[in-house]
Homo-oligomer: A and B are copies of this chain.
């Protein structure tokens, strides 16, 4: 027995020496084998201790634990991932990371992931949606256990293929209507628009403009629908002149608002697609000597920090962005654990936050 052991050890020595040399050279990390050797136990035993199994003798456990401590050993995630089939990583696909809209979602998501001992692997797409291969690639199939996809530019079809490939993911704020099997988290756009419009109508506004996002987007269409429904309910005929589309930036909002304010019969209120637009609208008004909210009321959407910094502060429809991130993580973890679901689709409530940028309609 002992002889065999020794002979094995002898045979392995050159290799071990080489490895050690490499370790010194490359500062490579401690492996489970080194711990096992130093403790004079097998790799399997160390593995048992690592995963806190109960079939290990107390003394053995303590010995191994001590050596693990001393040598500062930490399991190699790649190896464990390969062996177990899970990596503890979640891909997060997001068009950009900087804008407050995205970083809010990201913030909530990473926090929630942390609580599940998962980590986010960031993959900004920069709005470039090439081929579906790159989608899979970006998801890092084989490195991530699943993914969160924010504002996907992919079609429902492409996402369905992902689903069929057995990949687990949750879509946050879908751009397009998605197949029912695709898990998603979004905000109550229609209701948000309704709240904004009721607020403005309640203030006596009758000529209310809307700045929208791109045609076809769920957010655009839902909010437009809310806008029209509210107008209809108030017996107001919609005026196509009062609907303009814009990009997402402040300058886009300024431009769009400029067009509206320069109309022969300008609106007394603007319902903007996001807070950036609303801020742009404030600037457009200021440039024309139009006072907000005395001459013009403005309501934004999102309620990011900007809304409280601009003068006047913004009345806006709050989207619970961080909460959307959290919720998506909660869906995803249940997917990963193959739990059953009541529903794959969560719509979080939006809420009007009234501040200074809206007021009674001018008489």
- Name A residues whose Cβ lies closer than 8 Å to a Cβ of B: 26-29, 72, 74-79, 81-82, 85, 87-89, 92, 96-98, 100, 103-104, 106-107, 110-111, 114, 119-124, 126, 136-138, 140-143, 164-167, 250, 279, 305-306, 309-311, 322
Known contacts A72-B165, A78-B81, A121-B120; is-contact A141 B29 (Cβ 8 Å): yes
Q: Most B CB atoms within 10 A — which of A88, A121, A309?
A: A309
Q: Are A110 and B137 in contact, CB atoms less than 8 angstroms apart? A: no
Q: Most B CB atoms within 10 A — which of A26, A81, A97?
A: A97
- What is the count of identical protomers in the complex? 2
Q: Are B97 and A110 in contact, CB atoms less than 8 angstroms apart? A: yes
Q: Are B121 and A89 in contact, CB atoms less than 8 angstroms apart? A: yes
Known contacts A103-B103, A142-B78, A166-B26; is-contact A119 B122 (Cβ 8 Å): yes
Q: Are A74 and B136 in contact, CB atoms less than 8 angstroms apart? A: yes
A338 to chain B, nearest CB (A): 9
Q: Are B119 and A140 in contact, CB atoms less than 8 angstroms apart? A: yes
Which one of B98, B110, B137 contacts A122 once the chains associate, using CB atoms below 8 Å? B110
Q: Are B110 and A119 in contact, CB atoms less than 8 angstroms apart? A: no
Q: How many angstroms from the CA of A28 to the CA of B84 in the assembled complex?
A: 13
Q: Most B CB atoms within 10 A — which of A122, A164, A167?
A: A122
Q: Are A309 and B279 in contact, CB atoms less than 8 angstroms apart? A: yes
Q: Are B29 and A166 in contact, CB atoms less than 8 angstroms apart? A: yes
Q: Are B100 and A100 in contact, CB atoms less than 8 angstroms apart? A: yes
Instruction: Tell me which residues across on chain B come within 8 A of A82, comparing CB atoms.
Output: 76, 78-79, 82
Q: How many angstroms from the CA of A79 to the CA of B141 in the assembled complex?
A: 11
Instruction: Tell me which residues across on chain B come within 8 A of A77, comparing CB atoms.
Output: 78, 87, 140-143
A86 to chain B, nearest CB (A): 9
Q: Are B111 and A119 in contact, CB atoms less than 8 angstroms apart? A: no
Q: 5 interchain pairs (CB within 8 A)?
A: A74-B142, A78-B78, A98-B100, A98-B103, A111-B126
Known contacts A76-B142, A165-B27; is-contact A97 B87 (Cβ 8 Å): no
Which one of B26, B124, B140 contacts A110 once the chains associate, using CB atoms below 8 Å? B124
Q: How many angstroms from the CA of A126 to the CA of B98 in the assembled complex?
A: 18
Q: Are A137 and B74 in contact, CB atoms less than 8 angstroms apart? A: yes
Q: Are B119 and A121 in contact, CB atoms less than 8 angstroms apart? A: yes
Q: List the 10 closest pairs (A to B, CB-CB), nearest first.
A: A27-B166, A76-B142, A77-B143, A74-B141, A78-B81, A311-B311, A98-B107, A103-B103, A120-B122, A78-B82
